[in-house]
């Protein structure tokens, strides 16, 4: 049975068991939550206001349905396999948490700071279950508006992190990592890349590989219309063709 419309007080949190629970329209206000186990729970339209969460286990937790997190700090928590979807997070900090196979699924991020490692995770502007296009009365498809996160990853370490599905990353600060290529104006960038690849490679197999790479990045439906695309160059390692892939990485880095 779901727990509904509850406002948690600090004194209640210490003794409450949060794992395997469904919470609907509940609020945590001015709370400090440490070492609690939230595994396999679901939060629907819940609010975290001026709270601190530290050393908590949020593995496989689902947050959804227009919740709001405001002025919160999340430190050293485990968000592995969590789905943080379709809610607004503002003026909050994520400090050295565990993000592994974590999905920010349509989350609206406004003035949010991440520090520490983020591995094998996804940031989507449009939730994965929604169509990328809307239709009108004439059944004409139109791309949905891009979502512009205001996020600072400057002190984060990103590894195999995907940013796609309707994001405008122009207000996102990325870390200075050698394997991370942030591409402005992707169409112009990849047109230049393909021209340069014809100068570098003489074999048809390598040219086809370059063309397929562009198709899989630039023309992938999830990336269409995005003014900035992020490519993790580590995808080329380990390599089945080290010389070719080294040259491709050099071309991508050169821009």
Name the pairing type of β-strands 52-54 and 32-34.
Answer: parallel
Q: How far is CA 228 from CA 127, 169, 192, 206, in A?
A: 19, 6, 16, 26
How high is the pLDDT of residue 196?
96
State the Cα angle at 110 between 149 and 36, rounded to 5°: 110
Name the pairing type of β-strands 27-29 and 47-49.
Answer: parallel
Q: What is the mean pLDDT of residues 3-9?
A: 92
The per-residue pLDDT for range 93-119, each reduced to its tens digit, is 999 999 999 999 999 999 999 999 999
Q: What is the mean pLDDT of residues 157-175?
A: 97
Q: Are 146 and 126 in contact (CB under 8 A)?
A: no
Rounded percentage of the chain residues whose pLDDT exceeds 70: 98
233: left (phi over 0), alpha (psi -120 to 50) or beta: alpha
State the Cα angle at 156 between 153 and 160, rounded to 5°: 95
What backbone torsions phi and psi does residue 169 show, to the nearest 5 degrees? -90, 20
What does the alpha-carbon distance between residue 17 and residue 9 come to, in Å, rounded to a whole number? 14
Helical spans, DSSP H, in 124-203: 186-200
pTM of the model: 0.93
Of 76, 25, 41, nearest to 55 by C-alpha is: 76
The per-residue pLDDT for range 188-206, each reduced to its tens digit, is 999 999 999 999 999 999 9
Would the pLDDT of 239 be above 80? no
What does the alpha-carbon distance between residue 185 and residue 29 come to, in Å, rounded to a whole number? 42
The per-residue pLDDT for range 134-159, each reduced to its tens digit, is 776 666 778 889 999 999 999 999 99
Where in the chain are the domains? 1-176, 178-255
Rounded percentage of the chain residues whose pLDDT exceeds 90: 79
b/e per residue 174-205 (b: at least 16 CB within 10 A): bbebebbbebeebeebbeebbebbeeebeeee
């Amino acid at each position: 049975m779901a727990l509904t419309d509850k406002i948690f007080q600090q004194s209640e949190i210490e003794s409450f068991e949060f794992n395997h629970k469904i919470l609907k329209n509940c609020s945590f206000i001015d709370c400090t939550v440490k070492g609690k186990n939230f595994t396999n729970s679901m939060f629907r339209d819940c609010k975290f206001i001026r709270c601190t969460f530290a050393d908590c286990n949020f593995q496989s937790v689902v947050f959804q349905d227009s919740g709001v997190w405001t002025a919160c700090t999340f430190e050293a928590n485990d968000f592995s396999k969590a789905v943080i979807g379709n809610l607004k997070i503002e003026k909050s900090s994520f400090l050295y948490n565990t993000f592994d196979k974590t999905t920010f699924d349509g989350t609206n991020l406004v003035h949010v700071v991440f520090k520490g490692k983020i591995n094998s995770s996804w940031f989507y502007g449009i939730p994965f279950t929604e169509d990328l296009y809307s239709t009108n009365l004439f059944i004409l498809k139109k791309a949905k508006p891009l979502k512009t996160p205001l996020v600072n990853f400057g002190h984060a370490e990103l590894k195999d992190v995907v940013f796609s599905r309707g994001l405008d990353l122009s207000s996102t600060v990325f870390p200075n990592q050698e394997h991370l290529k942030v591409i402005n104006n992707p169409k112009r960038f990849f047109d230049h890349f393909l021209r340069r690849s014809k100068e570098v490679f003489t074999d048809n197999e390598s040219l086809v590989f370059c063309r397929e790479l562009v198709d899989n990045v630039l023309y992938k439906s999830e990336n269409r219309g995005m003014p900035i695309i992020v490519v993790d160059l580590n995808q080329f390692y380990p390599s089945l063709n080290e010389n070719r892939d080294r040259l491709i990485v050099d071309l991508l880095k050169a821009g």
